[in-house]
Structure 1
Amino acid sequence: MNKDRHGPDGDQELIVNYDQLTKVMRTLALEAGDVIMEIYNSDDFDVQTKSDASPVTAADAAADALISAGLREAFPDVPLVTEEQAESHDTQADTFLIVDPLDGTKEFIKRRGDFTVNIAYVESGVPVRGVVYAPARKRLFYTSAMGNAVEETGPFDKETAGETTPIKVREAENSALLVVASKSHRDEATDDYIGKYKVADMKSAGSSLKFCLVATGEADLYPRLGRTMEWDTAAGHAVLNGAGGKVVRFDDHTPLAYGKEGYANPFFIAFAPDVELKDA
């Protein structure tokens, strides 16, 4: 059920019931995961190229159709932005739902497993609720109705949440940091920046799982010096927020905001608060 309220300037602000939001996003992520895995486990699937030269598969389209229909039915008054529907990219709002139905398509195509379903709710430019589901890894992360981040352990029931464990960022040791970086988009600039830190362990991961590894304390720092869009990051950002972490712009270390024109992100850093950030 949607609600509304009036802001200080008298304009109507849209809000949602967080209990309903959490339930709907979780269920849709699991349902989309089933659709994706059916295609992933098939003998072959068609890969096409979008106008921006990025790959897309039938799994992207099928998951997007399922999630979009579910969100529009549950929250008809909330603007919806989704990667696979170009017309939605013209939406101008600072409170909206945002979806990447299959983040990590390159990982999906290579059958490496590090792909996720991402659904998030952005309120006043901040991703406040989100779900990240990695169906091949059987890992499910989301924000509770109260905004705290949890990981649910399977097997997963689509209608009823199972046992959850609260997740929280690690107390980082700046003399021995745990760093995670992109598996498919690693470059020299990223390596040069990571080289500014004292690193005890370095790992690679695909898709929005990198945010979740920081959220669970499996990593302390995730720098991204490459192109991303808001639908790539919003859900993971929400989970990390709920675990006590932060995401800031790479250039000036101000908070990464959402609802930008075109939904393109600047370079950014996701991290546990104890990390002493280095300048660009």
Structure 2
Amino acid sequence: MDFETLTGVMRRLALEAGDAIMEIYGSDDFDVRSKSDDSPVTAADERADALISAGLRAAFPDTALVTEEQAASHGVSADEFLIVDPLDGTKEFVKRRGDFTVNIAFVSNGVPVRGVVYAPARERLFYTLADGSAVEERGPFDKDVPGPRTPMSVRTPDNGALLVVASKSHRDAATDDYISLYDVADMKSAGSSLKFCLVASGEADLYPRLGRTMEWDTAAGHAVLAGAGGAVVAFDDHAPLRYGKDGYANPFFIAYAPGVELRRG
């Protein structure tokens, strides 16, 4: 994989998908339907998926593609693949709360090594460069020419005063019980893969997820966090979270800045 080319293509497609999403987001009304797993889907999911998929297939025709909105791709098995969630946080989108993202990642041998997370309503764009390091770019954006980029780095956590972020739409008692094992100075909620990016930018130290997620939900955020010096591990045994699993389903996991003294749930 040519990572220089990949960076430019992922960034441009994320921005184009974000424009398509925001056009629908700004309309007076949009149709919300339920998929087979009862999760919501809108025209924004489908338009963004079509745009990103076409762009990736044109640029990287020999690389496998897995995307949430194309069920046929969920049986793909490859050592290297691109993985897409064209609109992560559809519930946030439907409720017009702004915390939704476009996610594109490249996975190699079980590890998400490059990725982009774009929050169009927040005008925040997080992505890995060709060397794997993570940066943030703020809008307004030029699709072809990157603007000023701020290097991202996790902060050095204080285990006596941790900054924790948790899901806005999927918070439950089990998550609260786990968070209570830590000394928390500040607790915030956020939607979609933005939670990974808040850890990557040093705005949080710890993001536990005790709920169902799929690899397309997490791969891009995981890549950005890794590029900023962070890590993602399975909740039960703290082993590194791997990708390319059968069915692309994740176990519960913990995303964190090194230095956090992880607890056992």
> TM range, normalised to the smaller chain?
over 0.9
Instruction: Tell me whether 1:178 sits opposite 2:163 in the alignment.
Output: yes
Cα displacement string for residues 38-74 of structure 1 (whole angstroms, at most 9, x for unaligned residues): 0000000000000000000000000000000000000
Cα displacement string for residues 215-268 of structure 1 (whole angstroms, at most 9, x for unaligned residues): 000000000000000000000000000000000000000000000000000000
Amino acid at match of 2:99: D
How far did 1:95 drift? Answer: 1.0
Instruction: Tell me whether 1:92 sits opposite 2:80 in the alignment.
Output: no
Query: Quick one: distance in 1 between partners of 2:229 and 2:153?
Result: 6
Q: Is the 8 A contact 1:94 1:258 kept in 2?
A: no
How far did 1:270 drift? Answer: 0.0
2:122 matched residue in structure 1: 137
Instruction: Tell me whether 1:75 sits opposite 2:34 in the alignment.
Output: no
Q: Structure 1 stretches of 5 or more lacking a match?
A: 1-15
Amino acid at match of 1:79: A
Amino acid at match of 1:117: V
Instruction: Tell me whether 1:121 sits opposite 2:106 in the alignment.
Output: yes
Amino acid at match of 2:42: T
Cα displacement string for residues 71-123 of structure 1 (whole angstroms, at most 9, x for unaligned residues): 00000000000000000000011210000000000000000000000000001
Query: Quick one: distance in 2 between partners of 1:152 and 1:145?
Result: 15
Amino acid at match of 2:255: A
Classify the secondary structure of the residue corresponding to 2:195: helix
Q: 1:254 aligns with which of 215, 232, 239?
A: 239
TM-score when normalising by structure 1: 0.94
Classify the secondary structure of the residue corresponding to 2:12: helix
Instruction: Tell me whether 1:24 sits opposite 2:9 in the alignment.
Output: yes
Amino acid at match of 2:86: P
Instruction: Tell me whether 1:207 sits opposite 2:192 in the alignment.
Output: yes
Q: 2:28 aligns with which of 29, 43, 47?
A: 43
Instruction: Tell me whether 1:107 sits opposite 2:92 in the alignment.
Output: yes
Instruction: Tell me whether 1:229 sits opposite 2:214 in the alignment.
Output: yes
Q: Is the 8 A contact 1:107 1:115 kept in 2?
A: yes
Amino acid at match of 1:175: G
**Identity within the alignment, %:** 78
How far did 1:153 drift? Answer: 2.0
2:44 matched residue in structure 1: 59
2:178 matched residue in structure 1: 193
Q: Is the 8 A contact 1:247 1:270 kept in 2?
A: yes
Instruction: Tell me whether 1:278 sits opposite 2:254 in the alignment.
Output: no
Q: Is the 8 A contact 1:117 1:133 kept in 2?
A: yes
Classify the secondary structure of the residue corresponding to 2:51: helix
Query: Quick one: distance in 1 between partners of 2:137 and 2:122?
Result: 13
Query: Quick one: distance in 1 between partners of 2:27 and 2:137?
Result: 27
Q: Structure 2 stretches of 5 or more lacking a match?
A: none
Q: Is the 8 A contact 1:19 1:145 kept in 2?
A: yes
Amino acid at match of 1:236: G
Query: Quick one: distance in 1 between partners of 2:139 and 2:25?
Result: 20
2:132 matched residue in structure 1: 147
Instruction: Tell me whether 1:157 sits opposite 2:137 in the alignment.
Output: no
Q: Is the 8 A contact 1:95 1:124 kept in 2?
A: yes
Query: Quick one: distance in 1 between partners of 2:133 and 2:33?
Result: 38
Classify the secondary structure of the residue corresponding to 1:80: strand
- Runs of 4 or more off by more than 2 Å in structure 1? none
How far did 1:155 drift? Answer: 1.2
Query: Quick one: distance in 2 between partners of 1:33 and 1:152?
Result: 14
CA RMSD of aligned residues (A): 0.4
TM-score when normalising by structure 2: 1.00
